[in-house]
Amino acid sequence: MSHGDGDHERFAHYVQKDKIMASALEGTPVVALCGKVWVPGRDPKKYPVCPMCKEIYESMGVGGDKDKSGKGGDKK
């Protein structure tokens, strides 16, 4: 019944896990990587991953271990 764009409701957005937990407890809205603000409620597994979130997520190099392997230019 809510009026407004509904497209984002059909995607599962990436959100920091901490935020999700807090939201689940307090019912506060979270901000996805793509900038989408919403209150997660339904099972996100039912939805395809938001393409924008996915792109941002991958570009961030999640894991933060990019320095470990010393990619390229590491002559020994």
Q: Where along the sequence are the contacts to Zn ion (CB under 5 A)? A: 13, 32, 34, 36, 50, 53
Residue number of the CB closest to Zn ion reads: 50
**Alpha carbon 21 to its chain's center:** 13
In terms of CB distance, is 30 or 32 closer to Zn ion? 32
Q: Which of 17, 22, 76, 13 is nearest to 48 (CA)?
A: 13
Q: Residue 4 CB, nearest distance to Zn ion (Å)? A: 16
Q: Is the Cβ of residue 30 or residue 36 nearer to Zn ion in the bound state?
A: 36
Check: CB of residue 49 under 8 Å from CB of residue 14.
Answer: yes
